[in-house]
Amino acid sequence: MAVNAAPPGKVPGGRLAGRWVPWLVIGLWLVLAAGMVPLSGKLSSVTTDSAVDTLPASAESTKVAVLDDSLPGGDDNTFVFVYHRAGGMTDADRATVKRHYNTLAKRYPPKAAAGEDDEGPPTSPSTDGKAMMFTLEVSTTYGGPEDIVGPLRDAAKDRPSGLELDVTGPGAIDGDMDAVFDGIDVQVLLTTLVVVTLLLILTYRSPVLWLIPLVAVGAAALTAMGTVYLLVKGFGIVVNNQNSALLTILVFGVGTDYALLLIARYREALHHHENVRVAMVHALRGAAPAIVASAATVVAGLLCLLVADLNSTSGLGPIGAAGILCALVAMLTLFPAVLVVLGRRIFWPAIPRFSTVVEEKPGLWGRLGTAINRRRWVAALSSLGVLGVLAIGLAGNTGALREQDQFLSAPESVTGFTVLRQHFPELGGQPMTIFTRPAYQERVLDIAKGTRGVAMAIPEQTSGGWANISVFPKDAPDTVAEYDTIKRVRTAVHAVSGAEAIVGGPSAENLDTEVTTSRDEKLVIPLVLIVVLIILGLLLRAIVAPLVLMATVIVSFAAAYGGSVFVFDTILGFKGIDYSVPLLAFLFLVALGVDYNIFLASRAREETVRLGTREGMLKALSATGGVITSAGLVLAATFAVLVTLPLVMLIEVGFLVAFGVLLDALLVRSVLVPALTLLIGRRIWWPSRLSRPAAELPDGQQSLADDEEPTLQR
């Protein structure tokens, strides 16, 4: 291939190829880093998993939580101590339980311990004589649940041999959940760094090149965390521990993908241009449109979450969008600047040499394209068959995951609930909290007691113009039966005119979360599809191609979800799918899955102008196959980092997205999309000019029929 000589004294590529540009970019990033690094460390200080912050303000359980927190002692943490002995409680056991209660009550003076009134003694024996329990309310002035649960368990270690103790209750569950998330950001960051480093080393087989993308992505991640902190402080966006972990995964996964694509184009350009700055300008001109379109697709999809009612879901929109934009800017400015400064030697030992003639070898992906071209129907139908078989898994257990089943290894707070239900069936469910006006307390209490599914109802304190009632359901927490009981109680107490009764509590919060998420799915999913379809249409300047690409992504999502459900249900033994997983997985797989189709289709359109649809697609597959596959492996591996965490919800998201990304990169983009494009032919670009016969194109342009071979002129 001939290389055009530049006029004397002029460097091809314009001002962007100037010697000072890379150093200016690096300098600006150093200034930015100086401001963002301190802010990034503050992100953990504004994360919250509180139900009040997560649920929408309109949810009934949110109103109860806000009211409960505003009353004296309302924000206390509740811990339940369950002592049990298989052969029955002894006198020494009973004395120990009372001693423990008195010691803890002095250390953490409660507002009112369970049973200190007419309902009975502070320590309650079970009817089977094999257990005793007491409830302790600990003020938040002593710290959060994660700060208190450990000392409480340590304080009760002194007991007779054979007497077992489980510390459970809402406070203990919150404490154990917080312990899971403690340090999760650091763990995710370090694990992601290790995974991405190994993959980059294997990809480039260079002792130095792998470090450059890592530095640029690291800068993007720190900038993203600092930006998100500013968004939280400025706009009150809700960031929970889950979203914070996903931010790290997104920035590293997507940023590394952009690096792989840019390096591939840069390596090509170095063969054709002697000046590295000129080569980088040409690489950016070739890769940047697809990368920007990819980022725009993901950002637009994430911002669709802003219409969600669930605060944690809507908060992920701007959080994720900020991460993607930071990755985009870093990989299109800092990353190429560092590459240019370091020159060709950064590719050692496989340094791309400048040559006026570059030999193009077909390679693995070229041979795959030839095989697909020969057996178009076989390739398309076999791909759809594989995806269809995987989608059968959707018939498995797709029920909602209970809060107690969220842990990979059940902590003491979860096993304690099982023991509590065994010996105290009337207290084995998580209590509902009813707030009503004091004048109507007795009436609301009687109605609650008479509601089907309620085991008992106990009047609590009256304060601040509200009366509090604790209602214990008969059924296990977070089951369909318990949710039905909550709905019946709400319907019954709402009917009391003037009482202004509202029903909340931990299970009611989970019910409201599930209902809100279901409503959000019906709103967000169609919106994401419409937005992504519009972006594809604008990028490809066609209607048929975007519809085909979107159809393949949807089928791929169904296959990934079905295959994952089979793994969760049959192999891993999970007891359901977390309510947030379907929407998150759909968003990531549609937005990220379309990415690879964007990289392939945009290159195919570029090559179609010169070669026609058939040869253009084969050329695009040959040119992008290796880099897109590498990008898919990196992105899948970064999401797979979540599988190493001890929380079922994060494992499900990580596995599902990683599996879906691999399906998109290795099957959908590599086989199905090329096969469908070859079957449809030039009509894939309808109604653009590329879909017309040669005679209809102006300015002497030609368009190949499906089996024609002449070369097109640009």
DSSP characters for 56-102? -TTSHHHHHHHHHHHSTTTTPEEEEEEEE-TT---HHHHHHHHHHHH
Give every CB contact of residue 458 below 8 A, 6+ residues apart in sequence: 119, 469, 470, 471, 472
Choose among 449, 468, 465: nearest CA to 457.
449
* Residue 638 to residue 602: CA distance in whole angstroms: 25
* Residue 56 to residue 464: CA distance in whole angstroms: 24
454-463 and 432-436: which strand pairing? unpaired
pLDDT of residue 436: 94
End-to-end CA distance of the chain: 16
pLDDT digits (tens, 9 = 90+) for 141-166: 888 888 888 889 888 888 899 999 99
As beta bridge partners, residue 434 has 469, 503
**pLDDT mean across residues, the chain:** 83
Q: Is residue 587 predicted with pLDDT exceeding 50?
A: yes
The region of weakest confidence among 220-234, 357-371, 639-653 is 357-371
The secondary structure of residue 4, as a DSSP letter, is P
pLDDT digits (tens, 9 = 90+) for 310-340: 888 888 899 999 999 999 999 999 999 999 8
Name, of 113-122, 322-331, 621-630, the range with top average pLDDT.
322-331
Calculate what percentage of the chain has a pLDDT beyond 70: 89
pLDDT of residue 257: 85
The region of weakest confidence among 355-369, 607-621, 639-653 is 355-369
Q: Is residue 120 predicted with pLDDT exceeding 60?
A: no
pLDDT digits (tens, 9 = 90+) for 45-67: 888 777 677 788 788 998 988 88
For 163, other C-beta atoms within 10 Å of its C-beta total: 17
- Strand order across the beta sheet in which 124-125 lies: 124-125, 131-138, 77-84, 164-168
pLDDT of residue 183: 65
pLDDT digits (tens, 9 = 90+) for 335-366: 999 998 888 888 877 777 766 555 555 678 88
* Residue 583 to residue 228: CA distance in whole angstroms: 22
Domain annotation for the chain: domains and CATH numbers: 22-54+183-359 (1.20.1640.10), 76-181 (3.30.70.1430), 375-395+541-714 (1.20.1640), 431-504 (3.30.70.1710)
* Residue 185 to residue 240: CA distance in whole angstroms: 11
The secondary structure of residue 689, as a DSSP letter, is G
502-504 and 131-138: which strand pairing? unpaired
Find the radius of gyration of the CA atoms of the chain: 30
- Strand order across the beta sheet in which 502-504 lies: 454-463, 466-473, 432-436, 502-504
Does the N-terminal peptide bond of residue 411 adopt cis geometry, omega within 30 degrees of 0?
no
In total, the chain counts a number of residues equal to: 714
pLDDT of residue 351: 75
pLDDT digits (tens, 9 = 90+) for 459-505: 888 888 899 898 989 888 888 889 999 999 999 999 999 999 999 98
DSSP output for 346-393: GGTTSPPPP-SS-PPP-HHHHHHHHHHHHTHHHHHHHHHHHHHHHHGG
pLDDT of residue 17: 55
